[in-house]
Amino acid sequence: MRSESPKDKGLVVTLTNEPFQPVRLFYAIPDRAFVLRKLRQMKCVVEVPEERCWHWLFEGESASLRFVTGYDEIPKERRPVLLGRLHFPKSGGMRLQTSSVLRAIAAARFFAPRLGPEVVATRCRVVNRCFTPDEGDLDELMRTLDQGVTVIDPRVAEAAMEQRYKGARTMEDLERAATADLERRIRSKEDVPMVEDFPLAPEEETPDFQHLETALQLRLLRAMEHWRGNHRTLTEIILEAVKDGAGTGNSMDG
């Protein structure tokens, strides 16, 4: 980890030059032994017993991944770069923890074909802010993933959506309800929590994780806006992205 100072603001970035923003992906797995067999076949994943985890490194199979700074641009004495950690909690499942949005997206895309369809990303946790170098060392900053977490219950979200769209029968009804909901969110300044744990929808996800990418990139945009002193909500950023997409004739996923 090192720090840069875009516009003299001291933004903490990773060794591959993305804004430092902790992200954790939660996976459902068939069993631990199944996943470990797959991991042991990879040159870029090594077990670290003293940390009770596995390190995902920027080398071997992962060296071709694209970050702001590429593999060949990293001095040999700084290699291998630690991209993330894989944990297997006693409660079950697997956790993949990274220090940037771009790394989290790359991790989802990298491990999906290698671990197979039985290993499924079910939730994502992200710290919705950027950091300064004087806020602590790497381990301290990563621990913010477990501080003041707001867990989004999909059942509560679905019930609220059903209530907001109750009575809508036609496309015009749906559009009016959607407009009213958007206006309500903007007026109330409704925004994401500092540490947000939200459900993913594996059955709707694309092979290249476009939905996850969109969700995380929007949160990165929001974090950077707040960093610059522009305290815009996620809703406002989404609305601007939709307008930009409509103006160029492209969807947000395109």
d(C-alpha 53, C-alpha 50), whole Å: 8
| pLDDT value at residue 93 | 97
Q: Single out the residue of 23, 243, 15 nearest to residue 128, CA to CA.
A: 23
**For residues 121 and 202, is the Cβ–Cβ distance under 8 A?**
yes
CB-based contacts of 89: which residues, under 8 Å, 6+ apart? 95
> Taking the chain, what is the end-to-end CA distance rounded to the nearest angstrom?
32
| pLDDT value at residue 195 | 97
d(C-alpha 98, C-alpha 95), whole Å: 10
Residues in the chain, pLDDT under 50: 1-8, 250-254
Q: Single out the residue of 201, 214, 1 nearest to residue 98, CA to CA.
A: 1
**For residues 69 and 87, is the Cβ–Cβ distance under 8 A?**
no
| pLDDT value at residue 120 | 98
List, in sequence order, the alpha helices (H) in the chain: 32-39, 101-115, 138-142, 154-164, 171-188, 210-227, 234-248
pLDDT in tens, 2-19: 433 344 458 999 999 999
| pLDDT value at residue 171 | 73
d(C-alpha 172, C-alpha 150), whole Å: 34
pLDDT in tens, 178-189: 556 666 666 656
| pLDDT value at residue 176 | 63
